[in-house]
């Protein structure tokens, strides 16, 4: 286990670099290397060289390596969390930096434990067909800035488990976190098998079109996902795309406002709202609308926001100025349209950091931009509805379909509503609770392909039927 300073020094660039600033304070976190297309070529060459021997180890030895990698993450957990908090902005405590590092270890172990046996499709005495899954080869993983370590592990753990090598292109906002994570993982992995190329858009574009890369896994915006589809089409790459979400939550009239308020709050404001599958628009029945608003306002007012290194903070800044401006603009437009700001808004622009206060917006039209566009920040619009059919129609009215939730005291009624919602995952009385054993993926323009568990492993392999 290295000290924080030693870990940071080990990943700092020695040639061309980019200064990374703390979004909470504006202080320098470190110097990230700016890798180029030549670096990418070296990484892909190394991956191609390392992959066959890794695949030949077999599932049991690859499982053992992933378990050792999880141990390595835990040995450096506090140093990784400190770096993550400084670079991304999320607090150490709450469902934030320490939680994210812990999830990295958990997902590595889950990938190691997942089973993927050959499947006998037909064996009737005349025909014998067995379905197997073979490694793809080299997988390209392009990740986001909101959960940079955890989502990178979501991508690389099943890829490695299946016998692939991986080249990672992190977000330009959070390269240090991913470089540090990879350094720790590589303590237990063969050389060249996992490489991070911390470059710009040109590196991502080349990775997506490179003929030696057999699959791209991408988490990020729908616009970038569409660009990757185009870039990858020339080589007919396999794709798993987890794209933008604008998740709806529907509170049925029989729900208990006090009982569900905490779950609603963290469903919306986990990671200060910077989560693809966060609750981003909340539909509440007229009968309990005011009570739900009151309960959420009480929690929002009492939840501390501040510098991530302050042990009392559980909400932090937005990660970058661009996202701060988007949230601020959407809230102000909602206010100007006549919507009622229950709490928040009016950020203090004189303080350092990209802090936007926890904001609840009531009495807002369903077609307001704060509802119709993904805000990706700490501002939740709360929309009234009169009938369940009306709520379902509004929930299904957008092109996004990553996640959704239904809140009710009647599980049977909630499940009936959930079945009518167009989303890859619909949670009941919770929101955004991902599980490494449970498949996860989007519908509509929120992407395609599944991650996690056995289905996630299958997505990182090439199906082969041996018939005879």
pLDDT exceeds cutoff 80 at 312: yes
Distances (CA, A) of 409 to 259, 260, 416, 420: 10, 10, 13, 18
For the entire predicted model, the pTM comes to: 0.96
Classify the C-alpha dihedral 386-388-389-390 as positive or negative: positive
Identify the band that residue 6 occupies on the pLDDT scale cut at 50, 70 and 90.
confident
Q: Write the DSSP symbol of residue 315.
A: B
- Please pick, among 242, 295, 374, 451, the residue that the annotation labels catalytic: 242
Q: What is the pLDDT of residues 196-240, one digit of tens each?
A: 999 999 999 999 999 999 999 999 999 999 999 999 999 999 999
State the Cα–Cα distance between residues 105 and 186, nearest whole angstrom. 14
pLDDT exceeds cutoff 90 at 104: yes
Q: What is the pLDDT of residues 157-211, one digit of tens each?
A: 999 999 999 999 999 999 999 999 999 999 999 999 999 999 999 999 999 999 9
- What integer pLDDT is reported at residue 13 of this predicted model? 60
- What integer pLDDT is reported at residue 2 of this predicted model? 73
**H helices within 120-174, ranges in order?**
148-161
Identify the band that residue 288 occupies on the pLDDT scale cut at 50, 70 and 90.
very high
The closest of 301, 250, 323, 265 to 95, measured between CA atoms, is: 265
- What integer pLDDT is reported at residue 119 of this predicted model? 95
- Put the strands of the sheet holding 165-169 in their side by side order: 194-196, 165-169, 138-142, 215-219, 238-242, 447-448
Average pLDDT over residues 381-393: 98
Average pLDDT over residues 372-395: 98
Tell how far CA 315 is from the center of its chain.
17
State the Cα–Cα distance between residues 157 and 148, nearest whole angstrom. 14
Q: Write the DSSP symbol of residue 163.
A: T
- Please pick, among 276, 293, 374, 451, the residue that the annotation labels catalytic: 276
Residue 406 near residue 418 (C-beta atoms within 8 A):
yes
- What integer pLDDT is reported at residue 11 of this predicted model? 79
Length of the chain (residues):
468
State the Cα–Cα distance between residues 405 and 418, nearest whole angstrom. 7
- What integer pLDDT is reported at residue 12 of this predicted model? 74
**Spans of all domains in the chain:** 4-243+446-467, 247-428
pLDDT exceeds cutoff 70 at 14: no
pLDDT > 70: what percent of the chain?
99
Q: What is the pLDDT of residues 32-41, one digit of tens each?
A: 999 999 999 9
CATH of 247-428, one of 3.40.50.920, 3.40.50.300, 3.40.50.170, 3.40.309.10: 3.40.309.10
State the Cα–Cα distance between residues 429 and 422, nearest whole angstrom. 17
Mean per-residue pLDDT over the chain, rounded: 96
Identify the band that residue 10 occupies on the pLDDT scale cut at 50, 70 and 90.
confident
Does the active-site annotation cover 276? yes
Helices (H) and strands (E) in the chain, counts: 16, 20
Q: What is the pLDDT of residues 331-349, one digit of tens each?
A: 999 999 999 999 999 999 8
Structure tokens at 21: 């600033």
| Residue predicted with more confidence, 430 or 348 | 430
Phi-psi region of 432 (alpha: psi -120 to 50; beta: other; left: phi over 0): left
Phi, psi of 140 (to 5 degrees): -100, 130
Q: What is the pLDDT of residues 236-257, one digit of tens each?
A: 999 999 998 999 999 999 999 9
State the Cα–Cα distance between residues 73 and 106, nearest whole angstrom. 10
Q: What is the pLDDT of residues 44-99, one digit of tens each?
A: 999 999 999 999 999 999 999 999 999 999 999 999 999 999 999 999 999 999 99
**H helices within 215-317, ranges in order?**
222-232, 257-269, 289-302
pLDDT exceeds cutoff 90 at 8: no
Identify the band that residue 15 occupies on the pLDDT scale cut at 50, 70 and 90.
confident
Superfamily of 4-243+446-467 according to CATH:
Aldehyde Dehydrogenase; Chain A, domain 1 (3.40.605.10)
Contacts of 434 (CB under 8 A, 6+ apart): 277, 440, 452
Residue 215 near residue 239 (C-beta atoms within 8 A):
yes
Does the active-site annotation cover 38? no
pLDDT > 90: what percent of the chain?
95
- What integer pLDDT is reported at residue 5 of this predicted model? 81
Phi-psi region of 344 (alpha: psi -120 to 50; beta: other; left: phi over 0): left
- What integer pLDDT is reported at residue 208 of this predicted model? 97
State the Cα–Cα distance between residues 382 and 364, nearest whole angstrom. 7
CA atoms within 13 A on the CB side of 290: 1
| Residue predicted with more confidence, 2 or 315 | 315
Contacts of 230 (CB under 8 A, 6+ apart): none
Long-range contacts of 117-126 (CB under 8 A, 24+ apart): 121/465
């Amino acid at each position: 286990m290295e000290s924080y300073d030693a870990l940071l020094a080990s990943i700092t660039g020695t040639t061309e670099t980019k200064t990374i600033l703390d979004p909470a304070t504006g202080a320098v976190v470190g110097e990230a290397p700016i890798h180029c297309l030549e670096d990418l070529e070296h990484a892909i060459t190394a991956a191609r060289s390392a992959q066959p021997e890794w695949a030949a180890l077999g599932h049991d030895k690859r499982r053992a390596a992933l378990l050792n990698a999880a141990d390595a993450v835990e040995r450096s957990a506090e140093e990784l969390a400190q770096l993550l908090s400084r670079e991304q902005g999320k607090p150490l405590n709450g469902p934030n930096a320490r939680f994210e590092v812990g999830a990295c270890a958990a997902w590595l172990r889950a990938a190691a434990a997942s089973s993927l046996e050959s499947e006998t499709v037909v064996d009737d005495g005349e025909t014998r067909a067995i379905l197997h899954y073979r490694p793809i080869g080299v997988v390209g993983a392009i990740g986001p800035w909101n959960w940079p370590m955890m989502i990178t592990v979501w991508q690389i753990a099943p890829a490695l488990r299946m016998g692939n090598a991986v080249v990672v292109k992190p977000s330009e906002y959070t390269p240090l976190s991913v470089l540090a994570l990879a350094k720790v993982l590589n303590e237990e992995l063969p050389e060249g098998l996992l490489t991070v190329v911390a470059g710009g858009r040109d590196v991502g574009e080349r990775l997506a079109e490179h003929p030696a890369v057999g699959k791209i896994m991408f988490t990020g915006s729908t616009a970038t996902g569409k660009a990757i589809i185009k870039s990858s089409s020339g080589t007919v790459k396999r794709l798993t795309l987890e794209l933008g979400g604008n998740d709806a939550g529907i509170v049925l009239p029989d729900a208990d406002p006090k009982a569900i308020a905490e779950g609603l709050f963290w469903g919306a404001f986990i990671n200060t709202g910077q989560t693809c599958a966060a609750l981003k628009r909340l539909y509440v029945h007229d009968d309990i609308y005011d009570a739900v608003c009151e309960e959420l306002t009480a929690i929002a007012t009492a939840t501390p926001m501040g510098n991530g290194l302050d042990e009392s903070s559980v909400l932090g800044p937005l990660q970058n100025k661009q996202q701060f401006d988007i949230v601020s603009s959407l809230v102000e437009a909602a206010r100007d349209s006549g919507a009622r700001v229950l709490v928040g808004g009016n950020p203090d622009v004189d303080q350092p950091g990209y802090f936007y206060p926890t904001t609840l917006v009531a009495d807002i039209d369903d077609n307001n931009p704060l509802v119709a566009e993904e805000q990706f920040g700490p501002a939740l619009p709360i929309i009234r509805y009169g009938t369940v059919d009306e709520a379902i129609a509004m929930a299904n009215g957008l092109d996004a379909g990553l996640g959704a939730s239904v809140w009710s005291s009647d599980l049977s009624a909630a499940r009936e509503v959930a079945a009518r919602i167009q989303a890859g995952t619909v949670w009941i009385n919770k929101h955004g609770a991902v599980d490494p054993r449970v498949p996860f993926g989007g519908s509509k323009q929120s992407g395609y392909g599944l991650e996690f568990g056995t289905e996630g492993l299958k997505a990182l392999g090439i199906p082969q039927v041996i018939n005879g």
